[in-house]
Structure 1
Amino acid sequence: MKKETTKLSNEQIQEKASELEKKFGGKVTPIVFEIPETEEQVIGYLKEPNRLAKTRILDKAMAGMMVSAAQDLLELTIIAEASDPRIMSELPENDTYNLGAAMAAQGLVKFAVNTFKKK
């Protein structure tokens, strides 16, 4: 028997992210995972990392430690008080949410690619 869950709409989740942006003074990205068996949502909020954090994470990732770099970035960016505690839980059954959130955090680090080509 499925447990009754209230699913938040994308608009509700984005509204919460907007509130957090005002509180933290920067861009906040929501992440949402769904538990297939129950359709329950596991929601987290990531704040934009500063340039120094992005640089350190890129250095670590370029050294071949992608997942470790993503985990470090998650710890720097997660807004724990607004996020589902399962995301940062140490329990093995919550590893999928933690690793998914780490990969989402890694997506916050973007850089432009030089497209100039010499003749």
Structure 2
Amino acid sequence: MRIKNILAFTGAAVLSACAFAEPSIAPAANPATGSVLVQAKAGAGHRLTAQEAQGMRGAFRLADGRTLTLSSQRNKLFVDLDGKHEELVPVGDKRFVARDSGTLVAFNQVPYADEVTVSPAD
């Protein structure tokens, strides 16, 4: 009976470890559907607190003359740019990707950024 419990525990531990492993085959993007694939390493775990998201709110003048406006709701950050309102998904400490368009938005600091860089989706 004891061996069955040890084997069950070992099997559960192996399955749990496999759940956090990176996939061996990268998913392919489908340009026909217009969907954007946001990739981040498993376990990256970048999240904003509600206070950080609130500290990011405001308007930024971009080098090309456009205005980027940030708003927040709880711990989520939203961007208004080029007539689009999109959620920003954190992919790094200071880097975000617009959920729908895939636009990369990078800040010099989080919260209370005073510089922003916008790069179009690849």
Q: TM-score, normalised by structure 1?
A: 0.28
Higher gyration radius (CA): 2
Greater share of residues in strand: 2
Instruction: Pick the structure with more helix per residue.
Output: 1
| Structure of higher RCO (CA pairs closer than 8 Å, 6+ residues apart) | 1
